[in-house]
Amino acid sequence: MPITELLKKNAIQNGDAVAVVELSPRSGSGKIVLPADYDAAASFPDLSARREMTWKIMDRDADRIANFCVSRGLGRGKHVAVLMRNALEWFPIYFGIMRSGALVVPLNFRNTTEETRKCLELTQPEAIFFGTEYSGQMAAVREEGTSVKTFISTSPDCPDFAVKYFDCVRGASGGPPNVPLSDEDDAAIYFTSGTTGQPKAILHTHASIMSVCVTEQTHHGQRAGDVFLCLAPLFHTGAMMHWLGSLVSCGKAVLLRDGKPKSILNALSEEGVTIAFMLVPWVQDILQEVESGNLSFEDYNLDRWRLMHIGAQPVPPELIARWREFFPEQQYDTNYGLSESMGPGCVHLGVENLRKVGAIGKPGINWQARIVSDDGKDVPRGTIGELTVKGPGVMKLYYRDEQSTAATLRDGWLYTGDMGYEDEEGFIYLVDRKKDVIISGGENIFPIQIEDHIRAMGCVKDVAVIGGYDKRLLEVPVAIVSMKDGAAASESDFAAHCEALPRYKRPRGFIFADVPRNATGKIEKPRLRAMYGGAPANK
């Protein structure tokens, strides 16, 4: 079944139920429910309001977007990009593009104009839906020359070269488009997060996206009464695919466009959230505010919050230990995945395995996993190798990149580029990205092991370890440390703490600075290496 059919089912069976709530950074007590007959005049409410969309409206507008695309020659096999922050309109646009037979191409809204241009040049979309913040980028891209011929703006201040989103929705014919779709049809092109270099374009089918519905609901047991809090960006597979648990269960989702601790706790409390997908930085920030006395969990109604799960990067065990002090009864899960596996769930910890926090878990439902050597052979348990996975969500290919496709897809297995090992019970632990391994005097050093050790110091908010230049050893560990607000420690304090590490793993330098993370919470190590990796390490 194509993924678009699930939306149609929800609209028929539970059309008046709320599908999505949008909370902007300025949301107050105002509430706007989009009526069945809303038009352009009603489509741009005060963005400080709380907006709702029902399944019926989402489905109706997806049909209208599909019919609009078909009328513009943007049907089967064409590419249509999306450059927007999280908003209600994301969902009908996403499903509408796919219903037309076109491929949806979500773009990272943090991209620079040049990065956006490169993504468009690679995927060659003929149309793009873009948000208020990106009119300048679109004007620059258009001026430079692009494959995009149709620009659709969701902004009330629509530039003159673009079509107004609500005009195209209101003006399009109603009813489902007459475009037959199959499970094996191409559906979407997602981009990798670019943590090891230039982002690659990943081609997925309807079948691979649909498989995530089974994975997500099996792992987390979403029901119709669940309320899912989504802070992560919908352009990335992590957020969008976790939301598929709400799609298959017909549950409500809450989009929060503000990652501040107080805003998160307000949304959890006021919306009756039961499931929240979090990233490490948000959990760190919330705990820091609570532990410093600036916020108190007791001021919020969090009784319905049954599950908190984290993905996108290895999760420090000490972070979860601190969290569990406040929420000893709350379910917790770690989800591992990558855009090439259609997002999270190919490996997951499972809510029943709290004793194994620190592991990413075992293969998810309908998935297989192996730890292999460079020649593709299984390594013994306890031995570090590359994690490979096989399952229904594996990508079709890297778009227009045969070399990378051949290197990543081998004999049906997806080589993830993540290094890890399997313990005696079959639980998988990650040690680092293959490309992030530091080779110092012939020794392989996995930064995450050093990062976990440093993070145990109570003054540390975040830390990243990269390879610094050394004349003799070529590379040595260097730690970039972000301190908690008001905390203080010297370089000698950190050096003393790291005396417990084997000598070759001890950082040769400590740099006190921000640790940049991308929109999905992953540390931007290429950026850190560009900033600090070429400089000689301190002795």
Query: What band does 25 get if pLDDT is binned at 50, 70 and 90?
Result: low
| Torsional sign, CA 385, 354, 346, 465 | negative
> CB pairs under 8 A, 24+ apart, for 407-415?
408/340, 410/376, 411/376, 413/370, 413/388, 413/389, 414/340, 414/341, 414/388, 414/389, 414/390, 415/386, 415/388
* Percentage of the chain exceeding pLDDT 90: 65
Whether residue 487 is predicted with pLDDT greater than 60 in this model: the reply is: yes
Cα 375 from Cα 102, distance rounded (Å): 39
- Which helix (H) or strand (E) segment holds residue 263: the answer is helix 261-270
Whether residue 395 is predicted with pLDDT greater than 60 in this model: the reply is: yes
* Percentage of the chain exceeding pLDDT 70: 91
Mean pLDDT of the chain: 88
Q: Which two tokens stand for residue 229?
A: 């809090």
Q: Give the least confident one: 257-271, 382-396, 505-519.
A: 505-519
Domain 227-433 and domain 437-533, same fold? Reply is no
Q: What residues form DSSP beta bridges with 369? A: 389
Mean pLDDT of the region 183-210: 87
Mean pLDDT of the region 446-450: 84
Query: What band does 76 get if pLDDT is binned at 50, 70 and 90?
Result: very high
Mean pLDDT of the region 353-361: 92
User: Per-residue pLDDT tens for 261-311?
Assistant: 999 999 999 999 999 999 887 898 899 999 999 999 999 999 999 999 987
Query: What band does 38 get if pLDDT is binned at 50, 70 and 90?
Result: very low
User: Per-residue pLDDT tens for 299-355?
Assistant: 999 999 999 998 766 788 888 999 999 999 999 999 999 999 998 899 999 999 999
Single out the residue of 31, 68, 34, 74 nearest to residue 54, CA to CA: 34
- Which helix (H) or strand (E) segment holds residue 189: the answer is strand 186-191
Cα 118 from Cα 120, distance rounded (Å): 5
Per-residue pLDDT, 81 = 98
Q: Which two tokens stand for residue 461?
A: 């908010």
φ, ψ of residue 498 to 5 degrees: the values are: -80, 0
Q: Which of 144-153, 499-508, 512-521 has the highest mean pLDDT?
A: 144-153
Cβ pair 507, 496 in contact under 8 A: no
Mean pLDDT of the region 202-207: 96
Question: What's the topology of domain 4-15+24-181?
Answer: Rossmann fold (3.40.50)
Whether residue 539 is predicted with pLDDT greater than 60 in this model: the reply is: no
Number of other CB atoms surrounding residue 191 within 10 Å: 24
Assigned CATH class of 437-533:
alpha beta
Whether residue 521 is predicted with pLDDT greater than 80 in this model: the reply is: no
Mean pLDDT of the region 138-158: 94
* 227-433: CATH, from 3.40.50.10540, 3.30.70.100, 3.40.50.12780, 3.30.70.20: 3.40.50.12780
Residue predicted with more confidence, 31 or 490: 490
Whether residue 140 is predicted with pLDDT greater than 90 in this model: the reply is: yes
Query: What band does 523 get if pLDDT is binned at 50, 70 and 90?
Result: confident
Task: Find where tokens 């949304």 sit.
Answer: 267
Mean pLDDT of the region 238-264: 92
Per-residue pLDDT, 472 = 67
pTM of the model: 0.83
Give domain limits for the chain.
4-15+24-181, 227-433, 437-533
Q: Give the least confident one: 29-38, 238-247, 426-435.
A: 29-38
Query: What band does 197 get if pLDDT is binned at 50, 70 and 90?
Result: low
Query: What band does 518 get if pLDDT is binned at 50, 70 and 90?
Result: confident
Mean pLDDT of the region 417-440: 87
The residues, any chain, with a CB within 8 Å of residue 395's CB and separated by 6 or more, are: 202, 203, 204, 208, 339, 340, 341, 342, 409, 414
Compute the half-sphere exposure of residue 275: CA atoms within 13 Å on the CB side of its CA: 26
Q: What angle do CA 125, 126, 131 make, to 5 degrees?
A: 80
Residue predicted with more confidence, 269 or 528: 269
